[in-house]
Structure 1
Amino acid sequence: MPSQHPEAIGYGHVVESYVTRTYGGLPRYLVLNGGRFLGPPVVAHHTLYPDMIADAAAINDEELEALLGYEWRSRLTAGWLIGVDRRERFRALISDLLLASEVCYSGGAYCFALARFGTHADAEILTAYLDHYLPRTDLHYDQPAALGALLRLDALLGTRHADRFTEPDGLWGEWVKGVGHLGYPSYTPAELRRWTDLQCDFANGWTRT
């Protein structure tokens, strides 16, 4: 997907409105990417929660498309807003962006959105991503986020898509060993599932009543 500044298509306001607003001195995209809002202390980010609810409801599809067509900060933020509001009409675009993995960091937000959608179609997208990227032990992209989201969906849907990745001598273990030289810690499936659960549970708390 070609990257262009939203200004080029008449949506120059979206970055300031949705991506770079600050919380505790940090721009929103960094707060979302760092994940510290998922645990205490939350005082510095307390306005993030109502703001995310309001913005996820208020942003229109054209504005989301403008964010998804720009760089990683905008794509990451758009993924979160899509996930919070469960805008399933973006499933195909989210799938294309995740599988393409053109930019850093944003893929975790796409996995969050797919976990929030919660259907068999989303599990299939995550499975396809892992089939493609787990054999690439030279790459550390969004494999942990994808497995965590798939494990959550397996539990929700009563499926076992993740089993063949996490079985002894499966692709997951091989990938973890393969990326060890990159300086990343070991990832256990239980930890990844817990992280996705934290994200989705917080988003459930944000959901409008």
Structure 2
Amino acid sequence: MPFQHPETTGHGYVIERYVTRKDSDHPRYLELNGAHVLRPGWPHAKRFARHLIDDATTITDAELEALLAYEWRSRLTAAWLIGVDRRESFRERIGDLLLASEVCYSGGGFCFALARFGTHADAEILTAYLDHYLPRTDLHYDQPDALGALLHLDARLGTHHADRITEPDGLWDEWVKGVGRLGHPSHTPAELRRWTDLHCDFINDWSRS
């Protein structure tokens, strides 16, 4: 599916309103793609979180679709807004975009959204993604984010979807070896789950406050 600028559907304003707005030192999409939101004592945390949560609850489905139809910055931002507000009506769309892996960086947002939805259906989407892409030991896409989200859901749901993936010499170990030869760093499954936990906790904590 070709990328479509939001202007073509009358939503040209969504980029400035949701994607490049600055509630900190950097545009929102850069903060979402980095680790600043997880940094203890980050001075912009309150402002950033409150505006993100407010936008997530007020953005329309049409505006979200306009963002999802465009490039990685827009898709990443839309995925976070969908996840924060738990717009489960976007589950299938998120799953399709994750599996398609058309652009870089946005996949982490899709995995976050699925982790926030928190159901067995989301675990199945993540499992299908990992089954498809972990055998490709020449590709480093969003496999770490997907595994972290799946482990997060397993812990929440009391399921074991990730067990066969993370077993010794299983899909995960073989993928890590393959991309390691390409120079990509590796993280343990526990570290990846913790990363997802922290992102979800960041939103949960500010939502409660």
Residue 65 of structure 1: SS of its match in structure 2? helix
Contact 1:85 1:207 survives alignment (8 Å): no
TM-score after normalising by structure 1: 0.97
Percent identity (aligned): 73
CA displacement 1:132-167 (0-9 Å, x = unmatched)? 000001110000000000001111111100001100
Q: CA RMSD in A?
A: 1.2
Residue 159 of structure 1: SS of its match in structure 2? coil
Partners of 1:150 and 1:172 lie apart in 2 by 13
Who is 1:20 aligned against? 20
CA displacement 1:153-194 (0-9 Å, x = unmatched)? 111111100001100110000001100133222210000000
Contact 1:53 1:208 survives alignment (8 Å): no
Q: CA deviation at 1:35?
A: 1.9
Residue 132 of structure 1: SS of its match in structure 2? helix
Partners of 2:80 and 2:195 lie apart in 1 by 15
Gap regions ≥5 residues in structure 1: none
Contact 1:152 1:196 survives alignment (8 Å): yes
Summarize the Cα distance change of 1:208–1:45 in structure 2 as closer, same or farther, 3 Å threshold: closer
Contact 2:165 2:171 survives alignment (8 Å): yes
Contact 2:91 2:114 survives alignment (8 Å): yes
Q: CA deviation at 1:45?
A: 4.4
CA displacement 1:47-96 (0-9 Å, x = unmatched)? 11110111001100000000000000000000000000000000000000
Q: Which amino acid aligns with 2:120?
A: H
Partners of 1:4 and 1:208 lie apart in 2 by 36
Q: Which amino acid aligns with 2:19?
A: V
Who is 2:61 aligned against? 61
Contact 1:84 1:206 survives alignment (8 Å): no
Matches within 5 A, 1:167-186: 167-186=167-186
Residue 149 of structure 1: SS of its match in structure 2? helix
Contact 2:24 2:48 survives alignment (8 Å): no
Aligned residues: 209
Who is 2:140 aligned against? 140
Matches within 5 A, 1:1-209: 1-207=1-207
Contact 1:22 1:28 survives alignment (8 Å): yes
CA displacement 1:105-143 (0-9 Å, x = unmatched)? 000000000000000000000000000000001110000
Residue 22 of structure 1: SS of its match in structure 2? coil
Contact 2:84 2:113 survives alignment (8 Å): yes
CA displacement 1:8-49 (0-9 Å, x = unmatched)? 110000000000012333110000100221122310444111
Partners of 2:54 and 2:107 lie apart in 1 by 23
Residue 43 of structure 1: SS of its match in structure 2? coil
Q: Which amino acid aligns with 1:104?
A: C
Gap regions ≥5 residues in structure 2: none
